[in-house]
Amino acid sequence: MLKFVDTSQTIMQDLLARPIERIPLSSHSPLMSASAPRIADELRARRAELSMMKSAEATSLVTEIEDALASPLPSKGQELVERADLLVEEEFKAMAAEERRRAVLEGLAGLGYEVFEGMATAWVQNGQIVIRKAANPGYGVELLGGPRSDLLQVRAVGIGSSAEARDASRDHDMETIWCGEFDRLKALVAEAGGNVTMEFARPVGRFPLKIVSDPGASQEAEIVERSRRARPISPPH
């Protein structure tokens, strides 16, 4: 098994370039009662940050912040600032993880793996996905990792039935080939602004190659259906 961490900070750096300095305020501070204008500035800064986010949680919190700003004296201003800080941090992690997945999938496509539209979404929703090697359809790679995880796992797998006899020599060769492709994948991810580092590698041939069922028709059908549901429905002409 190969595990790697993409330490790319491109998105984080872009989104962290904020025009308004954050000034943490304690609810026990003697300045709290006289800091309404400052809290209002903090809320506007958080609203601007959250407005770049796509999640329902961010949209909901923006509404709460706008309601607070419309009040003469925001009673929950400091609480909203703190909640916004936590949510923005989580959103940054999710966006960075999305960028990692995109870079890895594009890299694998460049190496000749069958990457289809919607695979990134399927990866997030299922926690894993298997991608077939076009030139060797009996083999592929399995990708694992949560939607906000900094740790991604990838390993070569055989595709077929575990009940069928395997060619151990062929399996060994494909694992060896994947190790070379992994080095190329690191280079492709680096070109996209990421940095893949090896945390743990299982020696080739130490254990039998993992066999997974054919992801082909069922996985592709699931991906197509998810993409169809995600598309907006056009009104009749």
**pLDDT for residue 148:** 61
Q: What is the pLDDT of residue 194?
A: 74
Exposed e or buried b per residue across 73-99, where buried means at least 16 C-beta atoms within 10 angstroms of its C-beta: ebebbbebbbbbeebbeebbebbbbbb
d(CA 233, CA 237): 12
DSSP code string of 192-203: TT--EEEEEEPP
Neighbours of 215 (CB within 10 A): 20
The full set of domain ranges for the chain reads 2-6+96-230, 10-95
Q: Phi/psi class of residue 175: alpha, beta or left (left: φ > 0; alpha: ψ in -120 to 50)? A: alpha
pLDDT tens, per residue, the chain with 237 residues: 434 443 333 333 444 444 444 445 444 444 344 477 888 999 999 999 999 888 899 999 999 999 999 887 667 888 999 999 999 999 888 888 888 888 899 999 999 999 998 898 888 888 889 999 999 989 999 998 766 666 778 899 999 988 888 899 999 999 999 989 998 998 888 887 777 777 777 778 788 899 998 876 455 555 555 555 555 444 444
**1 neighbors 155 (Cβ within 8 angstroms):** yes
